[in-house]
Structure 1
């Protein structure tokens, strides 16, 4: 059994240098699969990241597994996913697992998605080493696990299950691969803070069209490409009109006064800000529900000195 005093803190991804063994030699495939991720935490808090970008955070224990589409976060070649949890101790029954899924457009991802591979770990057991489950030698798998990359990393305040995989499907070069390399410094944070404030002003003014045209256009275009959907449909789904004009239901939270934390990912080409813990600076409070809000998670890149919402 593993013991540790629990201290809740924002986690930083720490990499390990180690040799990798490919499950299958990568070879680009001319397919059109949609990719997703599934994670099982079995009554534990969790956070999931793809290529360093946090896609889901649950500070409370959850018993049901969860899944998300991740085509727009997956690049050609090598990728990395991580599942984080934090408990003061683990017993033999605790299990964490993550799986990469794929399905064709038109399939029902809840019932027809196929599993490329699954990685599972039992941190409370003596060996505590992750096991990679996949169909060895299957040349049709678009996502191939890098078997020897799977590891369970014990940090001071949190633990994470990490695995790399190769995407063999021909994939566009996404915006988050092409942004400027950013410095983790006050100048970058202050510059990004101004971008957040401009977005906050537009949210306050209820100007959804300018938000979509001036800030979210790249994200809308690439998400439409990733999932084969019309841009108009993606734009509507990404919009904030559901929160606007309903002051008795949703209220935009004031813009934070204190300096925020700068977060970087994807080889320091992607940035976002957080306030206390993992809280997002842009959020709509639910008027009729105490301490409940809808937070806006956006990942930014900078091109030619200008910030844009990439994801």
Structure 2
């Protein structure tokens, strides 16, 4: 069992929050307080045996009696979201991790929150935290349709409704999100947080960088891995530093898969390079980074990589295992 999955929670309530989006309210079965969390945090959820997925917490971070997660049903997913929608009901017991935060809300004079689709989940928690602390911020929320806009009413009736802006793709009356205008004046004391589909995040990052925002002021959280062309993938070797054992990784398998086949366990979760669970130290060799967890500066160091999806540019990688 994954040792990070240390909490048993009960699904106290389930709601159809929007078209294709369900929310699950999780609490301790005996009413005990849950571990605290901060805005931007997520939990690992064992949807069923051998299937672990990450979901952002979208209730207020000062609450300790419950966790609230929102799950988009994705027919193209690898089973996690479909199982959550089809199999997890009110009263179900789930094994989860304590909250983790790879998308923390940092101090800033002004904060821009941008959400696309289900990316509203961590962004909403951030908005509520900033509103509670009287911070200067604005929220920009894009969705394909009103029917698919989760938490719309919650935001419209919130204390920060005057700072929330909505953009709906299929509504001719809806204004477009003008990223160049929104980000046209970079501020050394401001920060941008963006979460949503990869294309949405990439558009925000491109606009921000074009406007001159430094990369350390542009904060992202991806839900899916990067689209990678594997046509030119070849084989390479991984060597285990502690034992000297070496294994060939063929073009059609990941490092994680090869190590698992040879009895070497690495904790994994998303298997797409977005959660960082499997991050492994590299002692020798040059990784071919294919994750969205590490930033460009961390990639350049070549001292760690994600064996669930990344490969090697060198003939051999020596791993600190």
User: TM-score, normalised to structure 2's length?
Assistant: 0.28
**Would you tell me which structure has more strand in proportion to its own residues?**
1
Higher relative contact order (Cα pairs below 8 Å, separated by 6+ residues): 1
**Would you tell me which structure has more helix in proportion to its own residues?**
2
